């Protein structure tokens, strides 16, 4: 049976190893690759053919062609489309879970939880679309009698155009094919060309088929979504350089993100790149927190460091602890806690190798000491978690100690006094999160927290108190972003409903005849939107949507 026949004969849940370009399976012309089960290092079938530049251009051309119609879809149609994708992913629960576990080495519970997060995220954006606030409708009515007079001016936000989205290695679902970048771009009215991560192509294909089916079900242009497999350095760079692409969503390494930013800024018409790249998520332990149960605090810390084998962008890589007797008790509890933890399978052999390289680099720095180590896991690519220790002066003086190690490794930094701690924050890179562990009933901790808060606001996009940064709620108030190098653009978020704003731009309409006004700005408000009229917020009519 030829490859083409095999694809046509395949059932919906049968993996065939082809890209999906504008609704059609495409056999790539640039070689092939296999996913690897990281727990065993065994190759997984089928092989995935990789597209060449011309096949990629077909995807971007189709996305450009789809933009004209998809960008003006009514809100109900667009919301229903997103809900259909969510429904199809729910129906794929078991095959998705099975393939997810094989390709990632992560447990079933993680797979099931991530699928739930993904479908809930899609439904959240469907609700955002139906409500319509993201359009940002504003109307300044004409005031002909004013001196100087004012003409009628109306504003709304419109989609940017086709978006390139890159799948992340550590979230095969939630930051992947139908993940936050794709969902928010589609919600904004932007077609998506999705570059799959080569570590989990099977999961990407299953989800890509679900999105493609939903596109067809709602009669949308097939170019609204394409899924491509290809070598990252070639296809990824070509995708960002393509003139049809108007924005980029990326989650991955600093090196990879910066390469895409450089390509995007080198284009004749530069485009925005929203890249989440590198964060060590510092935790500042104030003295009052150590007057309580240090064993529980240490166990929570180690659980946050080692969960998902430490392969979370919010893993606490640096924890600042007072150099006091109470701090010593905490450190001793950390040693006991980490010694009880076994290594878990990492996502790929390459990521496990990078973890080893990173921890070896850390251990070789002057003033860095190995504090504690767990046990190696029973599978392949499951190194023992490690915790290091350094004093604050050594840490501040040596930028190599501040590197992110992607995996189950963290550094405890001992500080002598609070002023020294506050001063050190200026030497830290931008972060996704910062955390304060404190006694909220202790007046000294409260004063210290008030003093440190302005510094950590400048440092990170999310500030936590008495919690741990791993675990990101998908909601309306969430910020998953931060100053460079946490992200390439700190003004927005990649998680939560505000993520839709990345793929929109404002347009003002001055003196436009009523017959030409878009529905969102018509006097009769046919979409029943909440709008700001002459500076005053006018809510939609309750129950009419």
The separation between CA 384 and the C-alpha centre of its own chain, rounded to angstroms, equals 27
Q: If DSSP codes are grouped into helix, strand and coil, which group holds residue 119?
A: helix
Confidence grade of residue 409 (pLDDT, cut at 50, 70, 90)? very high
**pLDDT for position 540:** 85
Strand 32-37 relative to strand 409-415, pairing = unpaired
Residue located via tokens 């296999």: 34
Is 313 one of the catalytic residues? yes
Degrees, nearest 5: CA angle 220-498-152:
80
pLDDT over threshold 80, residue 315 = yes
Give me the domains of the chain, ranges plus CATH numbers: 19-32+54-131+159-277+494-500 (3.40.605.10), 283-465 (3.40.309.10)
The residue-averaged pLDDT of 89-98 equals 97
Task: Provide the pLDDT for residue 2.
Answer: 33
Residue among 495, 367, 479, 400 nearest 434 (CA):
479
User: What are residue 154's phi and psi, to 5 degrees?
Assistant: -130, 145
Q: What's the confidence (pLDDT) of residue 269? A: 97
Average pLDDT of the chain to the nearest whole number? 95
- Specify the pLDDT at position 11: 59
Structure tokens at 116: 């739930």
State pLDDT tens for residues 144-153.
999 999 999 9
**Tens digits of residue pLDDT in 278-308:** 999 999 999 999 998 999 999 999 999 999 9
HSE-CB at 529 with a 13 A cutoff on CA atoms is 28
CA-to-CA dists, residue 197 to 19, 35, 227, 236, 272, angstroms:
12, 10, 11, 10, 21
Residue 423 designated active-site: no
For residues 40-69, give the mean pLDDT.
97
Q: Rounded CA gap, 91 and 496, in Å?
A: 24
The structure tokens listed for 46 are 């089928």
What's the rounded Cα separation, in Å, for the pair 105 and 251? 20
Kindly report the backbone phi and psi dihedral angles of residue 531, in degrees, each rounded to the nearest multiple of 5, phi listed first: -135, 155
Binning the chain into helix, strand and coil, the percentages to the nearest 5 are 45, 20, 35
Residue 9, pLDDT > 60, answer no
The predicted-structure confidence for 459-505, as pLDDT tens digits, reads as follows 999 999 999 999 899 999 999 999 999 999 999 999 999 999 999 99
Percent of the chain with pLDDT over 70: 97
pLDDT above 80: residue 5: no
Closest CA to 494 of 451, 462, 448, 536: 462
Residue 156 has pLDDT above 80, yes or no: yes
Dihedral sign, Cα of residue 504, residue 133, residue 490, residue 86: negative
Q: Which residues contact 83 (CB under 8 A, 6 or more apart)?
A: 122, 123, 126
Q: For residue 11, give both structure tokens.
A: 């059932």
Classify residue 232 by burial, with Cβ atoms within 10 Å: 0-12, 13-18, 19+: middle
pLDDT in tens, 423-459: 999 999 999 999 999 999 999 999 999 999 999 999 9
Q: Which of 58, 114, 205, 313 is catalytic?
A: 313
Rounded to whole angstroms, what are the CA distances from 480 to 261, 276, 428?
19, 9, 18
Are 445 and 390 spatial neighbours (Cβ–Cβ below 8 Å)?
Answer: no
**Mean pLDDT calculated for residue range 354-360:** 97
Q: Which of 83, 103, 114, 276 is catalytic?
A: 276
pLDDT tens track for 360-385: 999 999 999 999 999 999 999 999 99
Q: In the predicted model, is pLDDT for residue 106 greater than 70?
A: yes
What pLDDT does residue 3 have? Answer: 40
Its pTM stands at 0.95
Regarding beta strands 504-510 and 153-159, do their DSSP bridges make them parallel or antiparallel, or are they unpaired?
Answer: antiparallel
- pLDDT of res. 154: 98
Question: Is pLDDT above 50 for 335?
Answer: yes
Place of tokens 């390509």: 263
* pLDDT at residue 234 is higher than 90: no
Residue 509 belongs to what H/E stretch? Answer: strand 504-510
């Amino acid at each position: 049976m030829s490859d083409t026949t095999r694809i046509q004969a395949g059932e919906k849940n049968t993996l065939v190893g082809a890209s999906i370009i504008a609704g059609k399976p495409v056999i790539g012309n640039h070689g092939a690759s296999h996913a690897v089960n990281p727990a065993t290092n065994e190759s997984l079938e089928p092989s995935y053919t990789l597209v060449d530049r011309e096949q990629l251009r077909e995807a971007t051309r189709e996305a450009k062609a789809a933009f004209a119609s998809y960008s003006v879809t009514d809100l109900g149609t667009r919301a229903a489309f997103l809900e259909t994708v969510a429904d199809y992913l729910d129906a794929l629960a078991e095959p998705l879970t099975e393939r997810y576990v094989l390709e990632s080495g992560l447990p079933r519970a993680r797979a099931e939880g991530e699928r739930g997060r993904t479908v809930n995220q899609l439904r959240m954006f469907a609700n955002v679309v139906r409500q319509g606030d993201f359009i940002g409708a504003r109307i300044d009515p004409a005031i002909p009698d004013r001196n100087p007079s004012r003409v009628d001016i109306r504003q709304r936000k419109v989609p940017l155009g086709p978006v390139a989205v890159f799948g992340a290695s550590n979230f095969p679902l939630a930051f992947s094919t139908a993940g936050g970048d794709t969902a928010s771009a589609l919600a904004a009215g932007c077609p998506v060309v999705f570059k799959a991560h080569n570590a989990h192509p099977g999961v990407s294909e299953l989800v890509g088929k679900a999105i493609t089916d939903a596109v067809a079900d709602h009669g949308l242009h097939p170019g609204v979504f394409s899924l491509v497999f290809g070598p990252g350095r070639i296809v990824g760079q070509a995708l960002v350089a393509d003139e049809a692409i108007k924005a980029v969503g990326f989650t991955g390494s600093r090196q990879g993100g910066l390469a895409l930013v450089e390509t995007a800024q080198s284009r004749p018409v530069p485009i925005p790149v929203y890249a989440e790249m590198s964060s060590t998520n510092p935790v500042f332990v104030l003295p009052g927190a150590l007057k309580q149960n240090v064993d529980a605090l240490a166990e929570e810390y180690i659980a946050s460091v080692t969960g998902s084998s430490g392969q979370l962008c919010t893993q606490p890589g640096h924890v600042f602890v007072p150099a006091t007797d109470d701090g010593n008790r905490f450190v001793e509890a950390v040693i006991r806690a980490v010694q009880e933890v076994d290594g878990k399978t990492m996502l790929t052999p390459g990521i496990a190798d990078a973890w080893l390289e990173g921890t070896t680099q850390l251990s070789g720095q002057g003033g860095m000491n190995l504090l504690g180590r767990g046990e190696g896991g029973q599978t392949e690519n499951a190194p023992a978690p490690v915790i290091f220790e350094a004093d604050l002066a050594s840490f501040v003086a040596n930028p190599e100690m501040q590197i992110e190690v992607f995996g189950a490794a963290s550094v405890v930094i001992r500080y002598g006094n609070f002023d020294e701690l506050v001063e050190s924050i200026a030497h830290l890179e931008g972060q996704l999160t910062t955390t304060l562990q404190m006694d909220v009933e202790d007046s000294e901790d409260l004063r210290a927290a008030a003093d440190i808060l302005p510094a950590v606001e400048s440092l990170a996009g999310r500030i936590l108190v008495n919690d741990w940064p791993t675990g990101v709620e998908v909601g309306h108030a969430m910020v998953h972003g931060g100053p460079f190098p946490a992200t390439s653009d700190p003004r927005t978020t990649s998680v939560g409903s505000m993520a839709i704003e990345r793929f929109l731009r404002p347009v003002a309409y001055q003196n436009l005849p009523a017959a030409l006004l878009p529905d969102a700005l018509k006097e009769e408000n046919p979409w029943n939107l909440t709008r700001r009229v002459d500076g005053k917020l006018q809510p939609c009519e309750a129950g009419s949507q």
